[in-house]
Amino acid sequence: METKELICIGCPMGCNLTVTVEDGDVKSVTGNTCPRGAEYGKNEVLHPVRTLTSTVFVENRGNMLPVRTDRAIPKECLFEAMKRVNAVTVKAPVSIGDVILSDFYGANLIATMNVL
């Protein structure tokens, strides 16, 4: 049995978590204030995930459109994912929630600003 000390990134509270792992499986998460903390603790030990936020170029406006994944994606894919994000351009109009890239590491890459 092994314990890991983590800081939860689920919200600004930053709870100190203790995760107990046995035979490659999470036995317990303590120190969390909410269910998000338990989920983070478990994921972080078994398979860390992160929400990716970035920007893509708006061809007909000359500036950037902020985007994010609509769910967390595997942490080890972040740099590879950035290459795909930076290869994309879009054309306005774009609305919040529009899917820019689908099937993106198990998530969708969505717009987070309205560009009329």
Partner 1 sequence: MTDTNVTKARLVIVGGGPAGMAAAIAAYDAGVTDVLLLERGNALGGILLQCIHNGFGLHRFGEELSGPEYAARYEAEVKKRNIPFLTDTMVLSVDPDRTVTAMNSTHGVFSVKADAVVLAMGCRERSRGALSIPGKRPAGIYTAGTAQRYVNVQGYLPGKEVVILGSGDIGLIMARRMTLEGAHVKAVCELMPYSGGLNRNIVQCLKDFDIPLMLSHTVSKIHGDTRLTGVSIAEVDEKLRVKPETEQYIPCDTLLLSCGLLPENELTKEAGIPLDAITGGATVNEHRETLTEGIFACGNVLHVHDLVDFVSEEAELAGKSAADYILRGARKAASPITVKPAGKVRYTVPQRIDGEGEDVRLFFRVGAIVDNAVLTVKQGDTLLATKKKRRMTPGEMESFVLPAAKLAGVSGELTVCVESEGK
Interface residue with partner 1 among 21, 42, 50, 98 (CB under 8 A) is 50
**In contact, 1 and 20? CB cutoff 8 Å:** yes
Interface residue with partner 1 among 21, 26, 77, 78 (CB under 8 A) is 78
Residue 79 within binding range of partner 1, rule CB under 8 A: yes
Residue 8 within binding range of partner 1, rule CB under 8 A: yes
Residue 12 within binding range of partner 1, rule CB under 8 A: yes
Least spacing, CB of residue 12 vs partner 1, in Å: 5
Q: HSE of 86 in the Cβ direction (CA atoms, 13 Å)?
A: 6
Q: HSE of 45 in the Cβ direction (CA atoms, 13 Å)?
A: 24
